Amino acid sequence: MNYRVHFLDEQKTFDEVMGELLSAHWIGFDTEFVGEKTYIPVLCLIQVVAEQNIYLVDPLRIKDLQRFLDLISKPEILKITHAGDNDYRLLNTLYGTVPKNTFDTQIAAGFVGYNYPAGFGKIVERELSVTLAKSHTVADWETRPLDPKALDYAVEDVKYLPALHHKLTHKLRRLQREPWAREENRKWESAQFYHVDPFKEALANDYIHQLDFREKVFLMRIYQWRRQKALEYNIPKETVLQNRHISTVLRATKGGPNAFRSNRTMPEGVWRKYLPEWQTIWETKASDAERAWLNALPAPAPDDPEHEWSMELLYHFVKLQCMENEISAALLLPKGDFNKLKAGTVDPDDSLLDGWRAELLGKNLVQWLQERNAVKVVWEGKDCILRMDDSI
């Protein structure tokens, strides 16, 4: 289909066009942003496809994007994206927007035989027999005027979304998996999806289990301090303090300047600038909230080779079930989520084995994964029988 391309960089015209689209049944959209130089990414371009038109919106010129955000949150309008979680996270970070009625081609493709996450170009080529040029995927989208070739790329990023939606929906319906894809997309339509645990970085650092209580509090606070500084100056967290220096700050702060002088790995300008703040953080007593979080911190699981082997075996059964049903195992149970199951650290709110996942895997495999019992191998003649070992 030939689309008419419109560049919107005036508020009045933008408001009129977006207002007209409020009566549309569907739109496709994508965003281009730059996040390497700032803590909060800069939204540089929004591409919207609707009917026979493609609109390129310049958010650096148009300061009030509310009419577009209304489209995203309106449940009567289907939103078609590819890898849309990045776009929705950005819109939520910048404007608090929570989408409704979403369809993602990357997720849909994972239910009809593609590896997850499959690239947009690969899906377009296989489904629509079109080869995309991707030479401008790292264009400087903040530059004005925008490079015409970069704009051509931006157009290609949305012009095939409607056709992909049509073809992938047909395949989903033929396989009776349209409700599964809808269930997976629905996760993006909850404000909880965009909540960021303020202690996530500290918990992800295995070093925390080697520390005493006061050091754990300090580690949590340093990560929080770094986020606050990055937000204050709107610079990347690594520019404030590199990850590789976190342990140095932890060890040396209580020792004062001499401890830092004897460590040549950290730039002197960094520790001289921030040492007074770090010392205040170190000396401040733990709050009730910090004590509660640390008391709830799960202890590292002891080494258990049999449990490790059993869970890895079960994961191979998961992958086999996915292969036989032509569904990406990375979509059904990403390795990170599987590791949570294996360690027993799944949040009660995480529905890792509910809904379509439970339907696909079956009752027994779901039970094994949830209860994390060891798998007992029994040979009966030439048959290898696997049973859950309830005695362990």
CA angle at 160 for the pair 140 and 103, rounded to the nearest 5°: 95
Q: Pick from 171, 194, 217: which residue ends a domain? A: 194
Q: Do residues 286 and 310 share a domain?
A: no
User: 3-class DSSP state for residue 79?
Assistant: strand
Where residue 224 sits, what CATH number does that domain have? Answer: 1.10.150.80
pLDDT at 378: 74
Q: Do residues 326 and 290 share a domain?
A: no
Q: Do residues 141 and 229 share a domain?
A: no
Q: Pick from 295, 315, 338: which residue ends a domain? A: 295
User: Does some domain include residue 311?
Assistant: yes
User: Does some domain include residue 300?
Assistant: no
Q: Do residues 112 and 163 share a domain?
A: yes
pLDDT at 392: 44
Q: Pick from 167, 194, 221: which residue ends a domain? A: 194
Angstrom distance (rounded) from CA 31 to CA 91: 10
CB 81, CB 29: distance < 8 Å: yes
Q: Is 340 exposed, middle or buried (0-12, 13-18, 19+ CB in 10 A)?
A: middle
Q: Do residues 285 and 312 share a domain?
A: no
CB 6, CB 25: distance < 8 Å: no
Q: Do residues 145 and 160 share a domain?
A: yes
**Residues in contact with 114: Cβ distance below 8 Å, sequence separation at least 6, in sequence order:** 122, 123, 328
The whole domain housing 180 covers: 4-194
**Residues in contact with 365: Cβ distance below 8 Å, sequence separation at least 6, in sequence order:** 314, 317, 318, 321
Where residue 189 sits, what CATH number does that domain have? Answer: 3.30.420.10
Nearest to 327 by CA among 160, 176, 186: 176
Beta bridge partners of 54: 5, 49
Q: Do residues 340 and 289 share a domain?
A: no
pLDDT at 49: 98
User: Does some domain include residue 115?
Assistant: yes
Question: If DSSP states are collapsed to H, E and C, what string results for 25-49?
Answer: CEEEEEEEEECCCCCCCEEEEEEEE
At position 306, the amino acid (one-letter code) is E
pLDDT at 340: 79
Q: What's this model's pTM, rounded to 2 decimal places? A: 0.89
**Residues in contact with 52: Cβ distance below 8 Å, sequence separation at least 6, in sequence order:** 1, 2, 3, 4
User: Does some domain include residue 33?
Assistant: yes
**Residues in contact with 165: Cβ distance below 8 Å, sequence separation at least 6, in sequence order:** 26, 28, 80, 103, 105, 108
Residue recorded with tokens 């979403």? 102
Q: Do residues 52 and 185 share a domain?
A: yes
Per-residue tens of pLDDT for the chain, all 392 residues = 689 999 999 999 999 999 999 999 999 999 999 988 999 999 999 999 999 999 999 999 999 999 999 999 999 999 999 999 999 999 999 999 999 999 999 999 999 999 999 999 999 999 999 998 765 556 789 999 999 999 999 999 999 999 999 999 999 999 999 999 999 999 999 999 999 888 888 888 878 888 999 999 999 999 999 999 999 999 999 999 999 999 999 999 988 899 998 887 889 999 999 999 999 999 999 999 999 989 888 777 677 787 787 788 888 888 999 999 999 999 998 888 888 777 777 665 566 788 999 999 988 888 878 776 666 777 777 777 767 666 54
CA angle at 34 for the pair 28 and 37, rounded to the nearest 5°: 165
User: 3-class DSSP state for residue 21?
Assistant: helix
Q: Do residues 313 and 248 share a domain?
A: no
Q: Do residues 275 and 321 share a domain?
A: no
Q: Do residues 81 and 224 share a domain?
A: no
Angstrom distance (rounded) from CA 253 to CA 218: 10
User: Does some domain include residue 262?
Assistant: yes
Q: How many domains does the chain have?
A: 3
pLDDT at 266: 87
Q: Do residues 96 and 121 share a domain?
A: yes
